[in-house]
Structure 1
Amino acid sequence: MTDLDSLAPHHGRSLQRPLLGMTVLVVEDSRYASEALRLMCLRSGARMRRADCLGSASRHLKVYRPSVVIVDPGLPDGSGLDLIAELDKAVPRVGVILACSGDAGTRDAASAAGADGFLVKPIESLGIFQQEILRFVPLDQGPRGPYALNEEVIVPDPLAYRDDLEHARTLLADGPEPGTRRYLAQFLGGVARAAGDDVLADATAGLDGHAAEAGIARVLGLIETRLAARMAL
């Protein structure tokens, strides 16, 4: 796919597949959140590619220019806001840049960095996902005719949540430094909240503080319990 392919009008777009022909680059470290976005892109007719960190995103962007970029501000190797600012200043600019976070408080910072819009995690509504992109797509590149909100709710595969738990367990078992603990607190807290696991989400607050060792032990215990239960199933 060339740059022109990703930006040109696609006459096969319809109310059922309003993003047909678009390529969406998702810069997201959570497998669970990425799986939700993958399903939404699939239902909408778009092709999705994923980068799990800034370094991976840079490699993707050297090869092709997507129609839409969705960026999580909290990434393992830096701030996604810096990537948003870089994309906003690039010439030619990506058509649509969205920030995506479970912390609605980052909306203003994302907008200041240059994001066109903002998706709040957990992203469950297919209609909201489509409309937040279509808000910034030229009329001649969107679906023809009136567009009704799609009320379908997207539920990611629980195995993607397991992948995130295993990743967090590996980092915690290595005796993480304070910076990694802060990253894990926001990463694991956001993933657990999106999966409806409020007990684990609340426990992640203990990863970054004076009693970090006790907090790590508690979170590791909760993770092990969840992984063991899923294996039993």
Structure 2
Amino acid sequence: MDTQDDFLLTRPPTAERPLMGVTLLLVEDSRFACEAMRMMASRSGARLRRADSIASARQHLRIYRPSVAIIDLGLPDGYGEDLISELSRATPRVQAILATSGDPDGEMRAKISGADGFMCKPFNSLAAFQAAILDHMPIDRRPKGPRRLPTTNIAPDRIAYRDDLTQIARLIAINADPRTLDYVHQFLSGVAECADDQPILAALDQLQSLRQNGQPICHQMRVLSDLIETRLLETKMSALN
């Protein structure tokens, strides 16, 4: 018997659901960014699966082939560019490979690795999300005729932001070696961009500047840790109210 998912995947795209029939594999370690993407995929008619690492993505790809792969450039077990390169050379190839990052400079690296497009964080515009995917889909997988662009901006649940901050708080409490700090910077920058958390973004910029200039970072690490703890307390109090 056909499942509801099977039925949805065979339906043609419409003006209201322009990504109907599209399956997305999102390779992203941030729960906050994933929640934003899940909401946009759902409103667009697409089906979304998530992998939080390169290893998890490879396991998914052994089982099924998505229509579109959306890959974050900074992942806990490696660089998204490596997975992009693998997928771009694979036969048969997925219809569209998109890279994401909170760093606009990542676009060039992604394109060199074989990405078809680039989505800069934060993810909040439904119209931009749909356009980024449709621009790289075959003509027969796009909705026919004119359509009104959605004006909706997506606002994910702040609980997902709290989960991401909790992960980083635990990580920097255990280890603050250069490789860990590189990951913390790219991960937290993208998450804070999505959450429009300007104080944390400013603290990260200051920390990165100190590191690049070879200056002591202990004080700035405490500043960042205190900000994270403050956000965790704020989200906890908000959930109780």
Structure 2 length as normaliser, TM-score? 0.89
Instruction: Letter of the 1:221 partner, please give it.
Output: D
* CA distance in 1 between partners of 2:126 and 2:237 (Å): 32
* Preserved CA contact (<8 Å) 2:102 2:186: no
5+ residue gaps, structure 1, are: none
* Preserved CA contact (<8 Å) 2:12 2:141: no
SS of 1:38 mapped into structure 2: helix
SS of 1:118 mapped into structure 2: strand
Output one character per residue of 1:142-177: Cα deviation in whole Å (capped at 9) or x when no partner: 212223322211111111110110000010110332
SS of 2:105 mapped into structure 1: helix
SS of 1:104 mapped into structure 2: coil
Q: Residue 153 of structure 1 corresponds to which residue in structure 2?
A: 153
Output one character per residue of 1:1-25: Cα deviation in whole Å (capped at 9) or x when no partner: xxxx99xx84442111111121100
Q: Residue 101 of structure 1 corresponds to which residue in structure 2?
A: 101
Instruction: Letter of the 1:134 partner, please give it.
Output: L
Task: Note the aligned Cα RMSD (angstroms).
Answer: 1.9
Q: Residue 27 of structure 1 corresponds to which residue in structure 2?
A: 27
* CA distance in 1 between partners of 2:63 and 2:217 (Å): 41
* CA distance in 2 between partners of 1:183 and 1:127 (Å): 30
Structure 1 ranges of 4+ moved more than 3 A = 9-12
Structure 1 length as normaliser, TM-score? 0.92
Output one character per residue of 1:176-206: Cα deviation in whole Å (capped at 9) or x when no partner: 3210111101211221122111111111242
Q: Residue 212 of structure 1 corresponds to which residue in structure 2?
A: 217
Please give the residue correspondences for 1:6-85 in structure 2 after superposition, counting only pairs within 5 Å: 10-85=10-85
Is it true that 1:176 corresponds to 2:176 in the alignment? yes
Please, which moves more after superposition, 201-210 or 131-140? 201-210
* Preserved CA contact (<8 Å) 2:12 2:20: yes
Is it true that 1:222 corresponds to 2:227 in the alignment? yes
Identity among equivalent positions (%) equals 47
Instruction: Letter of the 2:237 partner, please give it.
Output: A
* Preserved CA contact (<8 Å) 1:189 1:202: no
